Amino acid sequence: DTAVSQTPKYLVTQMGNDKSIKCEQNLGHDTMYWYKQDSKKFLKIMFSYNNKELIINETVPNRFSPKSPDKAHLNLHINSLELGDSAVYFCASSLGQGSGNSPLHFGNGTRLTVT
Amino acid sequence: GQNIDQPTEMTATEGAIVQINCTYQTSGFNGLFWYQQHAGEAPTFLSYNVLDGLEEKGRFSSFLSRSKGYSYLLLKELQMKDSASYLCAVRPDTGRRALTFGSGTRLQVQP
């Protein structure tokens, strides 16, 4: 199936650990994103890559490091996890060029719980 | 800065019509999107407006007034499966391409 897929779906870990979330899209899009959705369901942009190049880096702690090995993949590595990092993390992709009506297509999310 | 406001919660009856409003104040404007998100699932794209007026797509319609910074999503013939959160999002800048989201409106459809 054509889609945005991210793994794992659930991630439970202790404070101080380092973890990674992987994302892949086979939609042929050249722009990918990481969004964080907090307990109040507010979706906030963290990072955006276009053709492996970082184009958006919002005010996110340095403990968060995205990596894009190619335009179909955007992984998120988090160092020294803190309780406040608990949230659902969504990967998304869109067409990078052309008209502005290209919607974002979201993965199913990774629910991160830090204990 | 970016500011997008929507009501937090709404309740409606099966078979009825409901209108979910969204107002925005953003640094730029290159389109407004509506997404549906069921609990525990990913947001899914519903509609897109960039010009003033109404866009209709089956039971769902979306309206935009750029001069007023205002949009609404209209859901007709409500079904129980329409119970979900509805997210209004603006693309402020085509270069950055990312969407800025409102906090969403949780719609509960009752029998």
DSSP string, A56-99: EE-S--TTEEEEEEETTEEEEEE-S--GGG-EEEEEEEE--SS-
CA triplet B93, A108, A106: central angle to 5 degrees? 20
Residue (of B8, B99, B51, B23) closest to A106 by Cα position: B99
Q: What is the mean pLDDT of chain A?
A: 91
Contact B91/A at CB under 8 A: yes
Q: Which residue, among A43, A57, A89, would best test binding to B if mutated, counting the most B CBs under 10 Å from its CB?
A: A43
Say whether A30 sits in a helix, a strand or coil: coil
Among A56-65, B39-48, B100-109, name the one with the lowest average pLDDT: A56-65
Read off the pLDDT band of A88 (50, 70, 90). Answer: very high
| Interchain contact, B99 vs A31, CB within 8 Å | no
Contact B21/A at CB under 8 A: no
Does the structure show a pLDDT above 60 at B110?
yes
Contact A105/B at CB under 8 A: yes
The proportion of chain A whose per-residue pLDDT surpasses 70, expressed as a percent, equals 94
Q: Which residue, among A106, A110, A111, would best test binding to B if mutated, counting the most B CBs under 10 Å from its CB?
A: A106
Does the structure show a pLDDT above 80 at A87?
yes
Read off the pLDDT band of A57 (50, 70, 90). Answer: confident
Residue with tokens 């968060």: A64
The token duo for A32 is 């990918």
Residues with Cβ < 8 Å from A4, sequence gap 6 or more?
A23, A24, A25, A27, A91, A92, A93, A105, A106, A107
User: Which of A27-31, B27-31, B86-90 shows the highest mean pLDDT?
Assistant: B86-90
Residue with tokens 């009506």: A101
